[in-house]
Amino acid sequence: MPEPITLAEAHPADLPAFKKNLQEAFALAVIKEFGPLTDGPIPPDEDLDSAFAAPGAEVLHILRDGEKVGGAVVTINTTTKQNALDLFFISPAAHGQGLGHRAWTAIEQRYPDTRVWHTHTPYFEKRNIHFYVNKCGFKITAFYNAHHADPNRPGTQDFPGVDEAFEFEKVMPGATATR
Q: DSSP characters for the chain?
A: -PPPEEEEEPPGGGHHHHHHHHHHHHHHHHHHHH-S--SS-SS-HHHHHHHHHSTTEEEEEEEETTEEEEEEEEE--TTT-EEEEEEEEE-GGGTTSSHHHHHHHHHHHH-TT-SEEEEEEETT-HHHHHIIIIIT--EEEEEEBTTB--TTS-S--SSTTTTSEEEEEEEPTT-----
Average of per-residue pLDDT across 141-146: 84
- Position 156 scores a pLDDT of 47
So where are the chain's domains?
A: 5-171
Average of per-residue pLDDT across 16-39: 88
| % of the chain beyond a pLDDT of 70 | 92
- Position 88 scores a pLDDT of 97
Q: How confident is the model at residue 29 (pLDDT cuts 50, 70, 90)?
A: confident
Judge whether residue 148 has pLDDT over 80: no
- Position 162 scores a pLDDT of 59
- Position 79 scores a pLDDT of 97
To the question of domain 5-171 being in CATH 3.40.50.300, the answer is: no
